[in-house]
């Protein structure tokens, strides 16, 4: 019997897996440069954290959670997202009593029982950043700029930024009521009518054309923002522009998690088909209180690693082969293997990426392996070279080959590769 990765999951295999590492590194680098500290939380949490934090009425909580009972009888859930966990950790460790904002970044696996399709997986990877404990439009703008800089550093040209404000606890209730009143007058199916009562904003996000057609004149949050929210949003917009970002105001942008207030945003890539969001986030001023903490206004984002690699592929950016070795050692015979082994170790200690031929496959097989490795140079050692105290350094691009004294080979290769 053989096994396959479960539906909705996949393996990152070399050389493509190198891109996942590159993307994680590039997307987190701007936040690391901006004073965000690394946080790692468990892959599972008390189920209540997500049902209260993410929201009882969201698809994530009602349909997509991997929930199980521990042997001790506790209900646990594989994390579907990172923000609730970060907030839980900050509250648990009492960080809100210190210097604010608390700036944190993370990277890891997340789990949602979604309908599997291209770009939508049941196990996926995010890089996230959160700034907790400050209400300052510059913090919202900072996070958005950091995310945009991360995408740009990967060479991505077609990432668009959508921006919206979802208001606050002062102005949202009146808007919600106005939207509900409008929606109740439409011709909608039973499920959608139920949604009007529980989570009316989600109806705006309905993808069906017959629903969208009826929503043309739906009231928009933008027109119902209170003075404070309006001023806050204007400030965020101005700061984004001042830092050279372009964005599209999208008054219909709705997010799939309940904790958002004020600034919300999404990064979209048009080369990805239906699953076009490569990242998203926003302000969540009420989340701390939702899970039993003090008032702690906060803002953050999570960027999808898997979809960012797909976006790079769509833009033709996965052409070079990352992560390959620079040198490949080919010993011709057992004595040569004994001699070349410590040389390979020495080169690696000097920072050179080296692999060698294993399994005694003969010269032809070994040279084929050298070519396949992507190395620029082969180090070939035969009996005659051993006698001469030298090793052949072959340039695999030009085919040029020179004998280099064993004692000098580390320096010579380092020079060639610098």
Binding positions for L-histidine: 81-83, 112, 126, 130, 255, 259-260
# chain residues binding ligand HAM, by CB under 6 A: 26
For 344-351, which contacts have Cβ atoms below 8 Å and span 24 or more sequence positions?
A: 346/410, 347/409, 347/410, 347/413, 350/410, 350/414, 351/414
Per CB under 6 A, 140 contacts ligand HAM: no
Q: Scanning the structure block, which residue is given the tokens 């510059």?
A: 138
Is residue 258 a contact residue for ligand HAM (CB under 6 A)? no
Residue 114 — φ and ψ, nearest 5°? -100, 165
User: Please, are residues 157 and 315 in contact by the beta-carbon 8 Å criterion?
Assistant: yes
Which of 50, 96, 301, 377 contacts ligand HAM by CB under 6 A? 301
Judged by beta carbon, residue 281 or residue 286, the one nearer ligand HAM is 281
Between 61 and 343, CB nearer to ligand HAM: 61
Which of 131, 302, 366, 413 forms a contact with ligand HAM (CB under 6 A)? 302
Q: Which is nearer to ligand HAM, 255 or 394 (CB)?
A: 255
State yes or no: residue 165 binds ligand HAM (CB under 6 A).
Answer: no
Stretch that binds ligand HAM, among 145-153, 161-169, 239-247, 301-309 (CB under 6 A): 301-309
The smaller minimum CB distance to ligand HAM, of residues 147 and 188, is found at 147
279, 286, 297, 374: residue in contact with ligand HAM (rule CB under 6 A): 279
Tell me the three-class secondary structure of 55-85, residue by residue: CCCCHHHHHCCCEEECCCCCEEEECCCCHHH
Tokens of 389: 């105290």
The smaller minimum CB distance to ligand HAM, of residues 307 and 337, is found at 307
* Residue 280 binds ligand HAM, judged by CB under 6 A: yes
Tell me the DSSP string of 149-172: HHHHHTT---EEEEEEE---TTTH
Residue whose CB is less far from ligand HAM, 137 or 279: 279
Q: How far apart are CA 3 and CA 20, in angstroms?
A: 24
259's tokens: 């904790």
Q: Give yes or no for residue 83 binding ligand HAM (CB under 6 A).
A: yes
Both tokens of 221, joined, read: 């949050």
- Does 114 contact ligand HAM by CB under 6 A? yes
Cβ of residue 376: shortest distance to ligand HAM, in angstroms? 36
Strands 102-111 and 37-38: parallel
Asked if 261 touches ligand HAM (CB under 6 A), the answer is: no
List the helix and strand counts (H, then E) for the chain.
16, 16
Rounded CA-CA distance 223/246 in Å is 22
Report, in Å, the least distance between residue 55 CB and ligand HAM: 12
Tell me which of 145, 278, 386, 390 binds ligand HAM, using CB under 6 A: 278
3-state secondary structure of 187: coil
Alpha-carbon distance of 173 to 67, in angstroms, equals: 32
- Compare residues 278 and 391 and give the one whose CB is closer to ligand HAM: 278
Q: Does 130 bind ligand HAM (CB under 6 A)?
A: yes
Q: Is 195 in the site for ligand HAM (CB under 6 A)?
A: no
Considering beta carbons, is residue 219 or 304 the nearer one to ligand HAM? 304
* 8 A C-beta contact, residue 159 and residue 266: no
Helix (H, G, I), strand (E, B) or coil at 250: coil
Contact 221, 251 (CB under 8 A): yes
- Contact between 120 and ligand HAM by CB under 6 A: the answer reads yes
**Positions that interact with ligand HAM (CB under 6 A):** 81-83, 112, 114, 120-121, 124, 126, 128, 130, 256-257, 277-282, 284, 300-302, 304, 306-307
């Amino acid at each position: 019997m053989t096994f396959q990765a479960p539906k909705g999951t996949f393996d990152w295999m070399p050389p493509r897996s190198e891109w996942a590492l590159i993307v994680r590194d590039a997307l987190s680098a701007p936040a690391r440069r901006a004073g965000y500290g690394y946080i790692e939380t468990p892959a599972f949490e008390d189920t209540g954290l997500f049902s209260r934090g993410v929201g009882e009425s969201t698809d994530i909580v009602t349909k997509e959670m991997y929930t199980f009972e521990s042997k001790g009888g506790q209900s646990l859930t594989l994390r579907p997202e990172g923000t609730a966990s970060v907030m839980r950790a900050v509250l648990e460790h009492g960080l809100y009593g210190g210097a604010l904002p608390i700036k944190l970044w993370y990277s890891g696996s997340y789990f949602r029982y979604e309908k599997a399709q291209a770009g939508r997986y049941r196990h996926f990877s995010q890089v996230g950043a959160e700034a907790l404990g400050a209400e300052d439009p510059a913090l919202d703008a900072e996070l958005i700029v950091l995310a945009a800089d991360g995408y740009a550093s990967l060479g991505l040209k077609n990432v668009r930024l959508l921006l919206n404000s979802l208001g606050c606890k002062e102005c949202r209730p009146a808007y919600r009521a106005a939207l509900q009143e409008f929606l109740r007058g439409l011709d909608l199916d039973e499920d959608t009518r139920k949604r009007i009562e529980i989570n009316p904003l989600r109806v705006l996000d309905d993808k069906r054309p017959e629903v969208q057609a009826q929503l043309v004149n739906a009231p928009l949050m933008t027109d119902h923002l209170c003075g404070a929210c309006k001023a806050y949003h204007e400030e965020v917009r101005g700061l984004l522009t001042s830092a050279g970002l372009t964005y599209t105001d999208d008054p219909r942008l709705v997010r799939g998690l309940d904790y958002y207030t004020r600034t919300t945003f999404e990064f979209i890539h048009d080369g990805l088909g239906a699953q076009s969001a490569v990242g998203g986030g926003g302000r969540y001023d009420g989340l701390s209180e939702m899970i039993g903490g003090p008032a702690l206004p906060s803002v953050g984002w999570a960027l999808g690693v898997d979809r960012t690699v797909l976006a790079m592929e769509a833009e033709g950016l996965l052409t070079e082969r990352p992560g390959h070795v620079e040198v490949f050692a080919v010993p011709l015979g057992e004595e040569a293997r004994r001699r070349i082994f410590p040389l390979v170790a020495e080169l690696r200690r000097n920072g050179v990426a080296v692999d060698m031929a294993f399994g005694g496959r003969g010269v032809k097989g070994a040279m084929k392996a050298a070519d396949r490795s992507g190395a620029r140079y082969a180090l070939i050692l035969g009996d005659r070279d051993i006698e001469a105290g030298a090793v052949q350094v072959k340039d695999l691009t030009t085919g040029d080959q020179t004998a280099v004294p064993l004692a000098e080979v580390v320096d010579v290769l380092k020079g060639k590769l610098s």
